[in-house]
Amino acid sequence: MTVAVVGASETTELGRIPHLSQMQLHADGAFNALADAGLSVSDIDGIATAGASPVDLTHYLGLEPHWIDGTSVGGCSFLIHVRHAVAAIEAGYCETVLITHGESGRSGIGRGGGGGGAASFASQFEVPYGPMGPTTLFGIGVLRYMKQYGMTHEQLASVAVAQREWAGMNPRAMYRDPITVEDVLASRVIAYPFHLLECCLVTDGGGALILTAADRAKDFPQPPVYILGTGESVESPMISQMADLTSSRNFRIAGGDAMKAAGVTHGDVDHLMVYDAFAHLPIFGLEDLGFVERGEAGPFIEEGNTRPGGRLPLNTNGGGLSYTHTGMYGMFALQESVRQVRGQAPAQVDGVNVSVCLGVGGMFSAGACIVFGKELP
């Protein structure tokens, strides 16, 4: 397959443009290129940009991407985006990619317009109301979820209890002593309805992965873990602007794309990792991936289905709540999926052929999913 440029345009004006912010310049160039191509925003399913976060741009333009690239390594970033876009289109990750640039280099209007800068939407429309990072924002939709589906505080707490059981089997987990639902609910309130034990740890650490072609993989000392399917998306830089506070669009897009690409059904999945910065993330993840119906994940976890011996082992390292959480925990979720598929996990689940790993970025701003397998399809 070859890939072609079908739309191209600069901003309407060049030179001095003090009446447009940097984000508006991105948008102006984008709309001009769309007009050049005879397309509308709904035709775009891949987005790449530098100098702005692809999350900010996605929300600003009203996109619903299945592929994103925020590679930002200086002025040649857009050339690299072209290369990555060719690979993405050839791989079938997306069909139509928009690559944007906008920079108020002379006028300096809204230069801090992305990723939490002073002129960003988040700074204008969330920061004045006193949020203090993830503990105050990540769970802000949970009371709505509880009212909509009848989930109890005890069910939310049971997420932490089940994961502590797994942590108890992992010597490297930071917290290993068993806890009860009562312990969770008696721990300090951090940001109602979240107690201390429903919030992730803050730790130091790291990890790395090495990937190569599947046909070379058998030449290495460790058993290969194949990547069967992948998915990604971004939604909004502000949790207050999520389309649905009780479900993540990113989880649905990323999870759906990954499982479809892998050709696996829910019954094929032996092991699941869901990035758990807070106790409600596994609940959203189970529902958005389609393992249970909307509103059923709380009872599903409370009944023990995800604990050791349960039918869907979840966050078997103990997760961000008990194992470790450096800040960008996704690497540790990947590591545990790889260990489980290799058969080398401290809390090894019997016969893991397929492991699904679902990650979050920001506060439901981004999502990604990888389906790992012991065998090539």
Query: Which lies closer to another protein via its Cβ, residue 20 or residue 160?
Result: 20
Query: Which lies closer to another protein via its Cβ, residue 32 or residue 348?
Result: 32
Query: Which lies closer to another protein via its Cβ, residue 63 or residue 264?
Result: 63
Burial 339-358 (b: 16+ CB within 10 A, else e): bbbbeebbbbbeebebbbbb
β-strand partners of 67: 46
Three-state DSSP class for 95?
coil
Least Å distance, CB 324 to another protein, is 22
Query: Which lies closer to another protein via its Cβ, residue 199 or residue 262?
Result: 199
| DSSP 8-state secondary structure symbol assigned to residue 93 | S
Least Å distance, CB 75 to another protein, is 24
Strand runs (DSSP E) across 53-118, as ranges?
67-69, 97-100
Query: Which lies closer to another protein via its Cβ, residue 20 or residue 225?
Result: 20
Site residues, another protein (CB under 8 A): 19-21, 23-24, 27, 31, 34, 40-42, 59-62, 109-110, 112-113, 118-119, 121, 123-132, 135-137, 139-144, 147, 188-194, 238-241, 245
CA–CA separation, 205 vs 203, rounded Å? 7
Query: Which lies closer to another protein via its Cβ, residue 165 or residue 288?
Result: 288
Least Å distance, CB 63 to another protein, is 9
Closest CA to 55 of 232, 247, 235: 235
Least Å distance, CB 79 to another protein, is 26
Decide if 195 contacts 185 (C-beta within 8 A): yes
Closest CA to 26 of 54, 4, 46, 45: 54
Helix axes 281-288, 153-167, angle to 10 degrees: 90
CA–CA separation, 236 vs 55, rounded Å? 6
Long-range contacts for 3-7 (Cβ within 8 Å, ≥24 apart)?
A: 3/85, 3/86, 3/89, 3/90, 6/37, 7/33, 7/34, 7/35, 7/36, 7/37, 7/38, 7/39
Least Å distance, CB 336 to another protein, is 29
Query: Which lies closer to another protein via its Cβ, residue 20 or residue 258?
Result: 20
Least Å distance, CB 235 to another protein, is 12
Least Å distance, CB 267 to another protein, is 34
Query: Which lies closer to another protein via its Cβ, residue 139 or residue 168?
Result: 139
Least Å distance, CB 363 to another protein, is 11
Least Å distance, CB 49 to another protein, is 16
Query: Which lies closer to another protein via its Cβ, residue 198 or residue 270?
Result: 198
Residues 6+ apart with CB under 8 A from 315: 163, 166, 272, 273, 274, 276, 282, 306, 321, 323, 333, 336
Is the bond into 134 cis (omega within 30 degrees of 0)? no
Closest CA to 231 of 30, 336, 92, 24: 92
Query: Which lies closer to another protein via its Cβ, residue 110 or residue 224?
Result: 110
Least Å distance, CB 36 to another protein, is 14
Q: Which residue has the tokens 């869901």?
A: 274
